[in-house]
Amino acid sequence: MNHWSSLSVLLLALLFIYILPYTFPSFSFSAKNMDGETSKSIYNFTVKDIRGNDVPLSNYNGKVLLVVNVASKCGFTQSNYKELNILYEKYKDQGLEILAFPCNQFGWQEPGTNEEIQDTVCTNFKAEFPIFDKVEVNGKNAAPLYKFLKAEKGGLLVDAIKWNFTKFLINKEGKVIARYAPSTSPLKIEEDIQNLLGSS
């Protein structure tokens, strides 16, 4: 009997968390800014860079953004950093910015301090794009930015970030245009980036 009771509670929890938001939009959770208003763009948020300094994302107004949760010890790490570097070098002068957020929630693959992460990213992966403070992207302590991103572009079956190197593409107005799975190669996104930049 206890087994069936536990199973019933689990199914009800799954229904509330994963099914109701799709069936009844009023059940959806959305990120709110400090005034309690639903955030309409990424520019409503301020984040911390890897040195702990506040960075208003409104600083990137008019840019095309690729927001990525990164990790230094993942099977996707080498290929993603390599291709992100290629995209950044190719399009940064046309208005592309890549915003990398280290996260240790997936297989504990970003265990270092901010200083260690920065050293690894700069030395081993030669990244020149901005690296930000290590964050959580899922759960009750998820960064407000990531709550917003997930609310704007849900994932397959569930909205939660599933692994390192999930990518969100943001247009020049700060709107979330697309979400790409961790397995999606950054270079596969190039055409979408070109379209938002207005290049061909």
Task: Give the SS3 label for residue 175.
Answer: coil
Q: Which helix (H) or strand (E) holds 22?
A: helix 20-23
Active-site residue identified among 74, 99, 169, 170: 74
Q: Which helix (H) or strand (E) holds 82?
A: helix 77-91
How many other CB atoms are found less than 10 A from the CB of residue 188? 12
- Are residues 97 and 49 in contact, defined by beta-carbon separation less than 8 angstroms? no
- Cα–Cα dist 200/187, whole Å: 15
Residues 6+ apart with CB under 8 A from 161: 69, 103, 105, 137, 138, 146, 150, 155
Task: Supply φ then ψ for residue 152, to 5 degrees.
Answer: -75, -40
Residues 6+ apart with CB under 8 A from 103: 69, 70, 71, 110, 134, 135, 136, 137, 161, 164
Q: Is 122 a catalytic residue?
A: no
**Catalytic residue positions, numbered:** 74
